[in-house]
């Protein structure tokens, strides 16, 4: 029996989204291609599952 993603606990959605974003953006972050996001926020909205997520980039010195 599968549970609709919309009913999945937020903590689990967060963990999965963090892993996917980390995997997708790892090389771009390493190459500095996402520096334009420093001080800005990126909104990711997945309407099908009722998820709205905000993220930003902080450069480490």
- Which neighbouring-strand residues pair with 44? 53
* pTM for the whole structure: 0.57
The total domain count for the chain is 1
One digit per residue, the tens of pLDDT, for the chain of length 61 reads 566 777 888 888 888 888 988 888 899 888 989 888 888 998 988 888 778 888 888 877 6
Is 19 a domain residue?
yes
Query: Which two three-digit tokens encode residue 22?
Result: 């980390």
Query: Which two three-digit tokens encode residue 19?
Result: 């892993």
Q: Looking at the chain, how many residues does it have?
A: 61
Is 60 a domain residue?
no
Is 49 a domain residue?
yes
Q: Could you tell me the residue range of the domain that residue 30 belongs to?
A: 5-55
């Amino acid at each position: 029996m599968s549970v609709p993603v919309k009913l999945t606990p937020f903590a689990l959605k967060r963990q999965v989204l963090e892993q996917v974003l980390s995997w997708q953006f790892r090389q771009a972050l390493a190459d500095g291609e996402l520096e334009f996001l420093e001080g800005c926020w990126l909104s990711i909205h997945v309407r099908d599952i009722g998820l709205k997520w905000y993220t930003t980039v902080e450069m480490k010195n």
